[in-house]
Amino acid sequence: MTSVPRALPAPQVYAVSRPKPTRRWMVRMFFVYAILTAGAFLTVVPFVFTLSSSFKTAAEIRQVPPTFFPQNLTLDNYTTVLTDPDLPLATFYRNSAVVALANVFTNLFTSSLFGYIFAKFNFPGKRPLFIFLLAQLMIPFQVTMIPGYLILVKLGLLNNLLGLIIPSAINPFGIFLMRQFMKSVPDEILDAARVDGASEWRIYLQIVLPQIGPALATLGVLTFMFNWNAYLWPLIVLTEQNIRTLPIILTWYTNAHTNQIHLSMAAAVLVMMPVLAVFILMQRWIVQGIALSGLKN
């Protein structure tokens, strides 16, 4: 006599109830969002006002009380700035782009390489050397400005874009950032690659770098923004007009057109647009770089 198999009871599903937010938590979150909203408002308003003022006429921009948005939108300001023979923007865009992009590539290479060494290798003097490297972050730029200028004079790099690239080739902050990310890369992956016969350069290029893509993107954007907006050091190193960068030229153009604020606003928008475009394109990687700390074992 065969026995009929009994049907298994259906699994019970338990509903997970979320804890009800307390009044204290709601009040705390209200103040947090209020502070963040106020900070975002104070950050965005100057940019929006600059952008809207660049489309105003000379009469409207002097109007009292002032208008926030242009009443009669015009593109004449941009046409005047772009066609000004005394302001060859293509030349200054090229100078700024060369300096910013060269510093991005050199910083990404040196920071990731030294970060890999400090994170995954042991050698005599490693800790004192790393502490000395971090101490460079505590030294104000004004302290090293004059010695750096004298070194460039001896090397003959004044009025040369290399004078803005070579001194910035090694970034202590970038090395620290890369080291922190690379410490989270599992050593087992690197050991397995070494067992398979991979060289250290191959491990660095094909295994380590792909794991820290968000960190590289974050450092690249920060480096680009810093070098594109740099003012004091390029002002000291570059004294010839045709090789200067955009922030210096923007100051010169504003001083030369003191009574034409609408033209200065248009020039300012043209200078900041590349940085804004880079940030928008790389925003996803920047968020990942801030949120992540590398691979988990």
Q: What is the pLDDT of residue 35?
A: 94
Q: Which amino acid is it at 231?
A: Y
Tokens 């502490």 map to which residue? 131
**Residues 141-158 pLDDT 10s:** 888 889 999 999 999 889
Domain for residue 13, yes or no?
no
Q: Give the HSE-up count for residue 276: Cα atoms under 13 Å, Cβ half-sphere.
A: 10
Q: Are residues 220 and 275 in the same domain?
A: yes
**Residues 252-267 pLDDT 10s:** 888 888 888 888 888 9
Domain for residue 30, yes or no?
no
Residue 53 has pLDDT above 50, yes or no: yes
Q: Are residues 118 and 219 in the same domain?
A: yes
Q: What is the pLDDT of residue 289?
A: 62
User: Across residues 150-173, what is the average pLDDT?
Assistant: 91
Domain for residue 8, yes or no?
no
Q: CA–CA separation, 241 vs 229, rounded Å?
A: 17
Mean pLDDT of the chain: 85
Q: What is the pLDDT of residue 14?
A: 54
Q: Are residues 133 and 247 in the same domain?
A: yes
Q: Are residues 70 and 102 in the same domain?
A: no
Q: What is the pLDDT of residue 150?
A: 92
Q: Are residues 59 and 88 in the same domain?
A: no
Domain for residue 182, yes or no?
yes
User: Which residues have a Cβ under 8 Å from the Cβ of 280 and sit 6 or more positions away?
Assistant: none
Q: Are residues 168 and 270 in the same domain?
A: yes
Whether residue 210 is preceded by a cis peptide bond, meaning omega within 30 degrees of 0, is: no
Residue 161 has pLDDT above 70, yes or no: yes
Q: What is the pLDDT of residue 276?
A: 86
Range of the domain at 55: 45-74
User: Across residues 50-59, what is the average pLDDT?
Assistant: 87
Q: Are residues 63 and 103 in the same domain?
A: no
Domain for residue 29, yes or no?
no
Residue 112 has pLDDT above 90, yes or no: yes
98-117 exposure pattern, b = at least 16 Cβ within 10 A, e = fewer: bbbbbbbebbbebbbbbbbb
Please give the model's pTM, rounded to 2 decimal places. 0.81
Number of structural domains found in the chain: 2
Among 24-38, 105-119, 200-214, 273-287, which stretch is predicted with the lowest mean pLDDT? 273-287
Q: What is the pLDDT of residue 297?
A: 43
Confidence class of residue 16 from pLDDT cuts 50, 70 and 90? low
Residue 251 has pLDDT above 70, yes or no: yes
Q: Are residues 157 and 273 in the same domain?
A: yes
- Of 295, 157, 164, 137, the C-alpha closest to 228 is 164
Confidence class of residue 107 from pLDDT cuts 50, 70 and 90? very high
